């Protein structure tokens, strides 16, 4: 419904308005590059060059690669926001959560995590803007889930997302619909055995 983050009814700022074209070019190019070069090889210079954008524009609006990644995630989240809020049952929630980790999203998450681990400022931002929302969403689901074999909700959240990140970061196993269902089943005491 909203056009712009900071839009109210104030009378439009002076000066040349921010270029939506450049914004798009940067986000798209970053996504492209992260798929080609795999997170580590990403560079402000490379993005600027490929996107046909000045470096300053990037530094000004995003401050660095992490800012771009966060915005990509934000965009990605806002597209699928209805799904998650409507989910009620744990199995479906985990299934769709894991399924939403498309290859490009995985790369973004990995790159973001790699930076956040080394930079406490970014870590805080990342936790507040992304991690906590996911925890809250899961929390809502858990509150309606019957028969969890572990009663401590916070612990369950840590276990579930820990599981996800552990597998994601180290490529230790599948993360898909089936795995989501399976994890949910185990946590609900409905393990196959």
Partner DNA sequence: GGCTAAGCGAGACGGTACGTCCCGTCTTTGC
Partner DNA sequence: GCAAAGACGGGACGTACCGTCTCGCTTAGCC
Tell the smallest beta-carbon distance from residue 42 to DNA (Å).
7
> In this structure, are residues 68 and 58 in contact, taking their beta carbons and an 8 Å threshold?
yes
Residue 80's alpha-carbon distances to 50, 77, 96, 97, in angstroms, are 28, 5, 10, 10
Q: How many CB atoms lie under 10 A from the CB of residue 45?
A: 10
Nearer to DNA, 44 or 142 (CB): 44
If the CB atoms of residues 81 and 117 are measured against a second copy, the closer one turns out to be 117
104-120 per-residue burial string, b: 16 or more CB within 10 A, e: under 16: ebbbbbbbbbebbeeee
The nearest distance, CB 192 to DNA, in angstroms, is 46
Interaction residues for a second copy, span 150-169 (CB under 8 A): 150-152, 154-155, 158-159, 161-167, 169
Backbone angles phi, psi at 174, to 5 degrees: -70, 150
List all residues 6 or more positions away from 91 whose beta carbon is below 8 Å from its beta carbon.
180, 181, 184, 185, 188
Residue 142 sits in the site that holds a second copy (CB under 8 A)? no
Question: What does 183 interact with, of a second copy, DNA, none (CB < 5 to 8 A by kind)?
Answer: a second copy
Binding site for DNA (CB under 7 A): 11-19, 21-23, 25, 41, 43-46, 52-57, 59-61, 64-65
Contact footprint for a second copy (CB under 8 A) = 38-40, 110-111, 113-120, 123, 126-127, 131, 149-152, 154-155, 158-159, 161-167, 169-173, 182-183, 186-187, 189, 191, 193
């Amino acid at each position: 419904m909203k056009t712009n983050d900071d839009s109210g009814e104030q009378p439009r700022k002076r000066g040349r308005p921010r270029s939506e074209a450049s914004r798009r070019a940067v986000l798209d190019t970053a996504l492209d590059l992260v798929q080609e070069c795999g997170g580590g090889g990403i560079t402000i210079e490379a993005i600027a060059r490929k996107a046909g954008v000045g470096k300053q524009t990037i530094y000004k609006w995003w401050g660095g690669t992490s800012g771009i990644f966060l915005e990509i995630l934000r965009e990605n989240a806002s597209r699928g926001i209805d799904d998650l809020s409507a989910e009620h049952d744990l199995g479906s929630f985990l299934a769709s959560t894991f399924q939403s980790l498309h290859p490009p999203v995985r790369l973004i998450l990995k790159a973001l995590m790699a930076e956040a681990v080394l930079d406490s400022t970014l870590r805080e931002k990342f936790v507040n803007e992304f991690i906590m929302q996911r925890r809250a969403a899961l929390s809502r689901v858990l509150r309606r889930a019957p028969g969890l074999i572990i009663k401590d909700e916070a612990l369950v959240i840590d276990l579930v997302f820990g599981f996800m990140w552990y597998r994601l970061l180290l490529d230790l196993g599948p993360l898909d619909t089936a795995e989501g269902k399976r994890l949910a089943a185990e946590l609900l005491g409905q393990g196959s055995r």
